[in-house]
Amino acid sequence: MTLTELISKLDERFTIINLSDDADQRQLSKVFCCDLLSFAMARNPADSVWVTVMGNVNTIGVMSLTDGAAVIIAENAAIDEIAAKKAVEQNIAVIKTALPVFETALTIHELIK
């Protein structure tokens, strides 16, 4: 499933903060959950959907270095302005939701499996 297809299936509980240019070609691999950046750096699979509560600029940095497809900030956690700007600059898809991490991951997993 492509990122564009996933986004078209998301209901109103999800808000798109930024979309990447290649979303319609980006084939999603799997869901990944973690908040510690050094773990995410080493383990986030390419083309993943990464669910975390860390909405700072380093999250965007890790996304860009690990080639993740999209990051979802769960629990209504804050996405700071610098991170939002960096996401646009680096062409990283960012989605936001009030759902907890587990429910978010499960919802995405069911949609892309």
Partner 1 sequence: MNLNFTYDVDSEDFTRAGEASADIKKKLKKMNVPHEAVRKVAIAMYEGEINMVIHANGGVITVSVNEDSITMVLADKGPGIPDVEKAMQEGFSTAPDNIRALGFGAGMGLPNMKKYTDEMHIDTEIGVGTTVTMKVNI
Ligand X SMILES: Nc1ncnc2c1ncn2[C@@H]1O[C@H](COP(=O)(O)OP(=O)(O)OP(=O)(O)O)[C@@H](O)[C@H]1O
Q: What angle do CA 66, 102, 15 make, to 5 degrees?
A: 70
- Alpha-carbon distance values, 26 to 1, 64, 72, 93, 103 (Å): 8, 14, 16, 11, 23
**82 sits near partner 1 (criterion: CB under 8 A):** yes
Name the minimum Å distance from CB 41 to ligand X.
8
Of the pair 8, 38, the CB lying nearest ligand X is at 38
**61 sits near ligand X (criterion: CB under 6 A):** no
Q: Report the interhelical angle of 81-89 vs 57-66 (nearest 10°).
A: 30
Of the pair 83, 112, the CB lying nearest ligand X is at 83
Which residues touch 104 (CB under 8 Å, ≥6 apart)?
Answer: 51, 72, 74, 97
Footprint on residues 3-32 left by partner 1 (CB under 8 A) = none
- Output the six-digit token pair for 84: 């939002």
Name the minimum Å distance from CB 91 to partner 1.
11
**39 sits near partner 1 (criterion: CB under 8 A):** yes
Binding stretches for partner 1 (CB under 8 A): 35-42, 52, 54, 56-59, 61-62, 64-67, 82, 86, 90
